[in-house]
Chains A and B, each alone.
Chain A
Amino acid sequence: MAVLKRMLPTAIAIAVGVFVLAAVFTSDPRLDAFGTYLIDTAVIIAAFALFLGLVNVSRVHARRIRERGPGRLYSFVLLAAMLIVLAIGLPPFSDQPSGPSQPAVQWIFENIQVPIQASLSALLAFFVITAAYRLLRIRNLEAIVMLIVTLLVLVGQITLGLLPVLPDIQDWILAVPAMAGVRGILLGVALGAILTGIRLLLGVERPYGD
Chain B
Amino acid sequence: MEEIGLGLLLVSVPILFFLTSRVRAGKAGALRSLPGLEQLPAAIGRSAETGQPLHVSVGVAGVGGSITAETWAGLTLLAHVADEAAACDTPLIVTVADPTVLPIAQDILRRAYARYGNPEGYDPTSVRLIAPNSMAYAAGVAGLLEREPLTANIMVGSFGDEYLLMGETGARQGVHQVVGVADPQTLPFVYASADETLVGEEMFAGGAYTTRLPIQIGSLLTEDLARWFVVLAIVLIAILKILL
* Cβ of A176 under 8 Å from chain B: no
Interface pair A196/B69, CB less than 8 Å apart: yes
CB proximity to A under 8 Å, residues B167-202: 167-168, 171, 182, 184, 187-189, 191-193, 199-201
21 A-B pairs within 8 Å (CB atoms) are namely A24-B2, A25-B2, A42-B64, A43-B64, A53-B102, A56-B125, A70-B147, A131-B168, A134-B193, A181-B184, A185-B187, A186-B200, A192-B182, A192-B201, A194-B9, A195-B219, A195-B222, A198-B16, A199-B216, A199-B219, A205-B72
Interface pair B76/A207, CB less than 8 Å apart: yes
The answer to whether residues A187 and B227 also contact, given A192-B69, A200-B72 and a CB cut-off of 8 A, is: yes
* Cβ of A88 under 8 Å from chain B: no
Give which listed residue, A42, A74, A185, contacts B200 with CB less than 8 A: A185
* Cβ of A28 under 8 Å from chain B: no
Cα–Cα distance between A121 and B72 once the two chains are bound (Å): 27
Give which listed residue, A49, A71, A135, A207, contacts B147 with CB less than 8 A: A71
How distant is A17 from chain B, measured CB to nearest CB, in Å? 11
* Cβ of B8 under 8 Å from chain A: yes
The answer to whether residues A186 and B73 also contact, given A46-B62, A49-B103, A124-B165 and a CB cut-off of 8 A, is: no
Q: Which residues of A contact B28 (CB under 8 A)?
A: none
Q: Which residues of B contact A130 (CB under 8 A)?
A: 168
CB proximity to B under 8 Å, residues A153-210: 181-182, 184-189, 191-200, 202, 204-205, 207-210
What is the predominant secondary structure among interface residues of chain A facing chain B?
Answer: helix
Cα–Cα distance between A210 and B115 once the two chains are bound (Å): 9
Cα–Cα distance between A25 and B129 once the two chains are bound (Å): 35
What is the predominant secondary structure among interface residues of chain B facing chain A?
Answer: helix
**Interface mask (B137-150 → A, CB under 8 Å = 1, otherwise 0):** 01100010001000
CB proximity to A under 8 Å, residues B13-27: 13, 16
Interface pair B223/A192, CB less than 8 Å apart: yes
Q: Find the residue from A42, A43, A123, A189 having the highest chain B CB count within 10 A.
A: A189
Interface pair B124/A59, CB less than 8 Å apart: yes
* Cβ of A127 under 8 Å from chain B: yes
* Cβ of A50 under 8 Å from chain B: yes
Cα–Cα distance between A127 and B8 once the two chains are bound (Å): 41
Q: Identify the closest chain A residue to B199 (Cβ).
A: A185
Interface pair A182/B78, CB less than 8 Å apart: no
Interface pair B227/A53, CB less than 8 Å apart: no
The answer to whether residues A207 and B75 also contact, given A131-B189, A135-B192 and a CB cut-off of 8 A, is: yes
* Cβ of B239 under 8 Å from chain A: no
* Cβ of B164 under 8 Å from chain A: yes
CB proximity to B under 8 Å, residues A111-168: 117, 120-121, 123-124, 127-128, 130-132, 134-135
Give which listed residue, B75, B99, B136, B192, contacts A131 with CB less than 8 A: B192
Q: Which residues of A contact B223 (CB under 8 A)?
A: 188, 191-192, 195
Q: Which residues of B contact A202 (CB under 8 A)?
A: 215
How distant is B186 from chain A, measured CB to nearest CB, in Å? 11
Top-4 shortest CB links A-B: A192-B204, A188-B201, A53-B99, A193-B69
CB proximity to B under 8 Å, residues A39-65: 42-43, 46, 49-50, 52-53, 56-57, 59-60, 63
Interface pair B102/A49, CB less than 8 Å apart: yes
4 A-B pairs besides A189-B182, A207-B104 with CB distance below 8 A are A188-B200, A191-B226, A192-B200, A194-B8
Q: Which residues of B contact A195 (CB under 8 A)?
A: 12, 16, 204, 219-220, 222-223, 226
**Interface mask (B116-158 → A, CB under 8 Å = 1, otherwise 0):** 0000000011011100110110110001000100000000000
Interface pair A191/B192, CB less than 8 Å apart: no
The answer to whether residues A117 and B136 also contact, given A49-B103, A132-B192 and a CB cut-off of 8 A, is: yes
Cα–Cα distance between A134 and B97 once the two chains are bound (Å): 27
Q: Which residues of A contact B227 (CB under 8 A)?
A: 187-188, 191
How distant is B236 from chain A, measured CB to nearest CB, in Å? 15
